[in-house]
């Protein structure tokens, strides 16, 4: 548990906008930031269409993100450039405004009888300063754009180079410890195979996603063995015996049996298919699993089984989990921290206990009010709180930002709301 402080994934101002035609855009994910510590389960919750899946798919690079950054183990794996382009556009507009204002000012001074030479000299100096500022902004943002494009494109190559270098180091010390040529030959052969695989290593393979729809995400023409082994084969592993052994092991780990390997997806129940999806993710030995509503298509009793399975994998293999769900009851007992999304925005983020004890955002309160409890007295009195953003917030003058209200508890609000929430917490 002491590993908890190491940040495994950092999502910074992630924006994913989809083109809708006629110049319109859908802001599926808009300025979302969060991080996940090693060994942690982070729950991402929100109603249908709020951008949860898009967040997950962006992290595994299925999209080129619009702007923001995603860092995995400190290495930037996704980088968007829209914010830098916007910054250049804003700097240009501000420069033009400044020049117009300076010219207007000079004209007024001249009309009032100021010395022309002096006024022109001052105007030239101030214009040069404004131009310098604009040029610096352009240079800096162009540098950021090219670095973002580089990281977006070459993060796998950079990662593979790092892994290869560390294996080579290991090989050097293994070779130094050999006493005979024969031994040296064997070590070299073993490392050669590892180096070959490592040179194809992609950093996003360290992150695996369990997809939302267990039926659509499994190819009906492939056997379970082929589905589960696909990632390994793409990775360059050819040893059939090694692959079979790994597939059998994983099948047992997820509560299936080796005899299932030769069957096709349609021969399984929903819960079993979800287990196949989990096996396919786990076989790649990922450090982070993005589980996208892995249980919402399942029966309640099977839901508990699949959640328990994920929990076991987390404690046995030390896997970190980003768990996506659309209602809070599913993530309650499983997540260490929870982020609540509404319409592409993260509106509240807090440790699970804190979120349940002190929900602040009206949308979180509405989600909590939807959780039924097995208590007839409570159920009789339970009132659903509906969330109506237009009635709840007035952002016409003071806009909202994400603010930390108590350590680790973040809320999307403006100044007035922040003061109100502080009052609610008795701060
Ligand atoms: N590839 C795409 N092209 C255009 N729009 C998309 C694309 N993928 C998602 N969207 C839109 O982005 C928004 C967010 O979708 P997303 O699938 O991330 O929601 P979700 O929170 O996962 O919902 P659910 O709980 O129903 O799975 C939706 O309005 C959706 O229509
Ligand atoms: Mg989804």
Averaged pLDDT score across all residues of the chain: 91
26 lines ligand 1 (CB under 6 A): yes
Summarize pLDDT for 96-112 with one digit per residue, the tens: 999 999 999 999 999 99
Summarize pLDDT for 385-396 with one digit per residue, the tens: 899 999 999 999
pLDDT of 1 reads 43
**Ligand 1 binding pocket mutation candidate from 29, 32, 53 (most atoms within 8 A of CB):** 53
Q: Which atom of ligand 1 is nearest to the CA of 341?
A: 21
Residues 224 and 365 in one domain: yes
pLDDT of 334 reads 85
pLDDT of 214 reads 74
14 lines ligand 1 (CB under 6 A): no
State the pTM of this model: 0.90
Residues 322 and 194 in one domain: no
**Ligand 1 binding pocket mutation candidate from 32, 49, 294 (most atoms within 8 A of CB):** 49
Q: Which atom of ligand 1 is nearest to the CA of 326?
A: 25
Domain-embedded: residue 316:
yes
Residues 151 and 214 in one domain: no
pLDDT of 4 reads 60
Give phi and psi for 25, each to the nearest 5.
-130, 150
164 lines ligand 1 (CB under 6 A): no
Distance 54 CA to ligand 1 centre (A): 6
The last residue of a domain, from among 348, 365, 380: 380
Nearest to 398 by CA among 380, 418, 382: 418
Nearest to 33 by CA among 81, 68, 77: 68
Write out the residue range of the structural domain in which residue 11 sits: 2-83+202-380
Strands 75-79 and 67-72: antiparallel
Residues 117 and 246 in one domain: no
Q: Which two tokens stand for residue 20?
A: 């809708």
pLDDT of 318 reads 87
- The structural domain count of the chain equals 3
pLDDT of 314 reads 86
326 lines ligand 1 (CB under 6 A): yes
Residues of the chain with pLDDT under 50: 1-2
Strands 320-325 and 41-45: parallel
Domain-embedded: residue 53:
yes
pLDDT of 358 reads 95
Residues 106 and 127 in one domain: yes
Summarize pLDDT for 216-242 with one digit per residue, the tens: 889 999 999 999 999 888 877 888 999
Nearest to 162 by CA among 199, 125, 135: 199
Residues 253 and 120 in one domain: no
Domain-embedded: residue 390:
no
49 lines ligand 1 (CB under 6 A): yes
pLDDT of 372 reads 80
225 lines ligand 1 (CB under 6 A): no
Residues 79 and 184 in one domain: no
Residues 213 and 178 in one domain: no
Residues 10 and 29 in one domain: yes
Give phi and psi for 68, each to the nearest 5.
100, -175
Domain-embedded: residue 411:
no
Whichever domain contains 274, its CATH number is 3.40.50.300
Q: Are 291 and 324 in contact (CB under 8 A)?
A: yes
**Ligand 1 binding pocket mutation candidate from 19, 27, 32, 50 (most atoms within 8 A of CB):** 50
**Ligand 1 binding pocket mutation candidate from 54, 296, 328, 339 (most atoms within 8 A of CB):** 54
Residues 222 and 73 in one domain: yes
Nearest protein CA to atom 24 of ligand 1, as residue: 48
Summarize pLDDT for 21-77 with one digit per residue, the tens: 888 999 999 999 999 999 999 999 999 999 999 999 999 999 999 999 999 999 999
58 lines ligand 1 (CB under 6 A): no
pLDDT of 8 reads 97
Residues 124 and 271 in one domain: no
Residues 209 and 175 in one domain: no
378 lines ligand 1 (CB under 6 A): no
The last residue of a domain, from among 179, 199, 219: 199
SS3 209: strand
């Amino acid at each position: 548990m002491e590993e908890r402080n190491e940040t495994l994934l950092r999502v910074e101002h992630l924006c994913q906008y989809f083109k809708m035609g006629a110049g319109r855009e859908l802001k599926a994910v808009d300025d979302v930031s969060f991080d996940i510590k090693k060994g942690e389960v982070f729950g991402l919750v929100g109603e249908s269409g709020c951008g949860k899946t898009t967040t997950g798919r962006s992290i595994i690079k299925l999209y080129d993100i619009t702007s923001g950054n995603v860092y995995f183990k400190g290495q930037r794996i996704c980088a968007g450039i829209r914010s830098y382009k916007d910054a250049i556009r804003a700097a240009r507009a501000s420069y033009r405004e400044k020049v117009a204002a300076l010219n207007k000012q000079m004209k007024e001074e001249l009309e009032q009888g100021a010395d022309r030479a002096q006024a022109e000299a001052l105007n030239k100096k101030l214009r040069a300063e404004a131009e310098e500022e604009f040029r610096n902004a352009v240079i800096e943002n162009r540098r950021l754009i090219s670095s973002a494009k580089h990281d977006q494109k070459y993060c796998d190559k950079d990662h593979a180079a790092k892994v290869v270098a560390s294996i080579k180091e290991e090989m050097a010390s293994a070779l130094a410890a050999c006493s005979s040529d024969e031994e040296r030959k064997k070590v070299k052969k073993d490392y050669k195979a590892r180096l070959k695989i490592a040179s194809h290593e992609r950093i996003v393979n360290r992150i695996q996603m369990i997809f939302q729809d267990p039926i659509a995400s499994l190819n009906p023409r492939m056997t379970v063995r082929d589905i589960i082994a696909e990632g390994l084969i793409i990775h360059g592993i050819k040893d059939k015996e090694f692959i079979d052994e790994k597939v059998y092991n994983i099948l047992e780990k997820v509560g299936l049996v080796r005899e299932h390997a030769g069957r096709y997806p349609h021969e399984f129940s929903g819960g079993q298919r979800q287990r196949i999806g989990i096996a396919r993710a786990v076989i790649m030995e990922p450090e982070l699993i993005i589980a996208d509503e892995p249980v919402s298509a399942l029966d309640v009793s099977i839901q508990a089984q699949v959640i328990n399975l994920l929990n076991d994998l987390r404690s046995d293999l030390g896997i970190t989990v980003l768990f996506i769900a659309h209602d809070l009851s599913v993530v309650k007992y499983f997540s260490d921290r929870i982020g609540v999304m509404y319409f592409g925005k993260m509106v509240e983020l807090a440790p699970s206990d804190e979120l349940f004890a002190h929900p602040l955002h009206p949308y979180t309160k509405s989600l909590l009010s939807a959780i039924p409890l097995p208590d007839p007295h409570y159920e009789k009195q339970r009132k659903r709180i509906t969330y109506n953003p237009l009635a709840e917030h007035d952002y016409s003058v003071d806009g909202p930002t994400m603010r930390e209200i108590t350590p680790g508890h973040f809320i999307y609000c403006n100044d007035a709301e922040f003061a109100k929430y502080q009052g609610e917490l008795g701060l």
